[in-house]
Amino acid sequence: MTLRACIHRGAGQVGGTCVELESGGQRILLDLGLPLDAEEGEDPLPNIAGLRGEDPSLLGVLVTHLHGDHCGLIPTARPGLPMGIGAKAARILREAEFFTGRPPLPEPTWTLGDRESFEVGPFRITPYQVEHSALDAFALLVEAEGRRLFYTGDFRAHGNDSDPWARLLADPPRDVHALLMEGTQIADGREGEGPSEADLRGTLARRFREWPGLVLASWSSQNLDRLRTVYEAAREAGRTLVVDLYTATLAAAAGAPGVPVPEVDGLEVYCRRRERIQVKEAKEFGRVRRVHPHRVFPEELAARAGELVLMQRPSMARELEQAGALPGALAVWSMWRGYLEGPAEQRLQQVLARHGVPLEVHHVSGHAYVTDLRRLVDAVRPVRVIPIHTGDPGKYAATLPWVETRQDGSWWDV
């Protein structure tokens, strides 16, 4: 008996990650992600016994973090498949479903906690908290038959909360035979270090101070660390941050230190037209009532322009135009630049251009810089490093020590 592994997706691509582990005929999955390039109508569920039909040798799936490219296929797997995820991540996803309309995730069978080991059949699992652009993210140490595999999931060392990274470096898992480590940045052609969330906060605070009118800021609602950065930058610049109902709801569900919620000073809520319709159709008026004391209405925007940073999404372009909020505004894009190519984003840019609103990109990656990948390898000192979640495993192998690449769909001994 031994511990064997197969990367079903992720050995040479970012997104849609799925790793299967087997020991003594029993199996678990690490992540079950939706590929970023999945087309409407195709079935990207990997061909794994027990995902579509019942197979008792598949014991369940452990999810490192809430991003769809790591857990998005779970609702399409057979009902009742046991699942493990962080408690906060599960809460955030459950609240997000109302706004995104995505199919619900099942109730977790296992709740992941930092360095709280548990057993699943022959596998001993130890989650390690990591920092990522999704809250409540974990790396997973899996042990069976004396072999040890450490899968990082997605992580970075430059977020607002530096504790998980410091603890991981100070007390990493020992005697690891295979380190499955993400390498998103390597494939993006970056080297060395890059800017941190703290650097971004400084840049944003300066732009918020310099700009006389309304600032419109775009970022992902599920990136609550970025909410914290934008909020702190707005406070530093003496402005109030106004987020949409979706973001306010996720922040409240997270209940995480440092993540602002609508009760704190300097955070208010703007209910987008689309959100007001969703609430009305679902008759869940409590969602709006809860934020009522902190609400900002469209007719206030122009008058309070110089004191606000307003979270913006492409779907809001028309209502902001009708509210007369665009003349004199500045738009800040705090997401991956590539998303600006999307059709809704293109329309948004046309509306902004029509009103002379400049668009600036100020963003920081959710993934570890190459220097930090090297630091983790040095700390863990595994027998081998296996690339995952990278578009360029060849460059990865040329960049880091002890790398052995694997192919999607091939089995190997840990």
CB of 278 to Zn ion, least distance (A): 26
Distance (Å, whole) CA 187 – CA 394: 9
One-character DSSP codes across 66-101: S-HHHHTTGGGSPTT--EEEEHHHHHHHHHHHHHH-
Among 40-48, 66-74, 334-342, 352-360, which window interacts with Zn ion (CB under 5 A)?
66-74
Total length of the chain = 414
Residue 156 interacts with Zn ion (CB under 5 A): yes or no: no
Nearer to Zn ion, 138 or 208 (CB): 138
One-character DSSP codes across 212-229: -S-EEEE--TT-HHHHHH
Nearer to Zn ion, 10 or 122 (CB): 10
Nearer to Zn ion, 331 or 370 (CB): 370
Nearer to Zn ion, 110 or 155 (CB): 155
Q: Which residues on adjacent β-strands are paired with residue 28? A: 21
Among 150-158, 235-243, 264-272, 372-380, which window interacts with Zn ion (CB under 5 A)?
150-158
Nearer to Zn ion, 154 or 372 (CB): 154
CA 178 vs. chain centroid, Å, equals 24
Chosen residue from 143, 154, 244, 392 binding Zn ion by CB under 5 A: 154
Cα–Cα–Cα angle for 228, 233, 236, nearest 5°? 125
Distance (Å, whole) CA 364 – CA 334: 8
Distance (Å, whole) CA 178 – CA 149: 5
CB of 168 to Zn ion, least distance (A): 17
**Contact criterion met (CB below 8 Å) for 248 and 222:** no
Among 37-45, 100-108, 152-160, 193-201, which window interacts with Zn ion (CB under 5 A)?
152-160
CB of 66 to Zn ion, least distance (A): 8
**Contact criterion met (CB below 8 Å) for 402 and 135:** no
Nearer to Zn ion, 275 or 372 (CB): 372
- Residue 142 has, within 13 A of its CA and on its CB side, a CA count of 30
The footprint of Zn ion on residues 97-136 (CB under 5 A) is none
CB of 19 to Zn ion, least distance (A): 15
For CA atoms 373, 368, 3, 175, the dihedral sign is positive
CB of 166 to Zn ion, least distance (A): 21
DSSP state, 12? S
Stated as kind and residue range, the H or E segment containing 248 is helix 245-254
Nearer to Zn ion, 9 or 67 (CB): 67
CB of 113 to Zn ion, least distance (A): 19
Size of the site for Zn ion (CB under 5 A): 2
Among 41-49, 79-87, 149-157, 222-230, which window interacts with Zn ion (CB under 5 A)?
149-157
CB of 82 to Zn ion, least distance (A): 22
Distance (Å, whole) CA 222 – CA 227: 9
Residue 239 interacts with Zn ion (CB under 5 A): yes or no: no
The footprint of Zn ion on residues 306-335 (CB under 5 A) is none
Among 2-10, 35-43, 64-72, 164-172, which window interacts with Zn ion (CB under 5 A)?
64-72
Distance (Å, whole) CA 389 – CA 373: 13
Distance (Å, whole) CA 18 – CA 69: 9
CB of 213 to Zn ion, least distance (A): 34
Question: Side by side, which strands form the sheet with 267-270?
Answer: 267-270, 240-244, 308-311, 215-218, 330-333, 359-361
**Contact criterion met (CB below 8 Å) for 368 and 394:** no
Among 25-33, 39-47, 154-162, 321-329, which window interacts with Zn ion (CB under 5 A)?
154-162
Nearer to Zn ion, 221 or 240 (CB): 221
Largest CA distance in the chain: 71
CB of 413 to Zn ion, least distance (A): 28
Nearer to Zn ion, 67 or 235 (CB): 67
Residue 67 interacts with Zn ion (CB under 5 A): yes or no: yes
CB of 160 to Zn ion, least distance (A): 16
Cα–Cα–Cα angle for 36, 271, 355, nearest 5°? 80
Among 60-68, 182-190, 289-297, 346-354, which window interacts with Zn ion (CB under 5 A)?
60-68
Residues that bind Zn ion (CB under 5 A): 67, 154
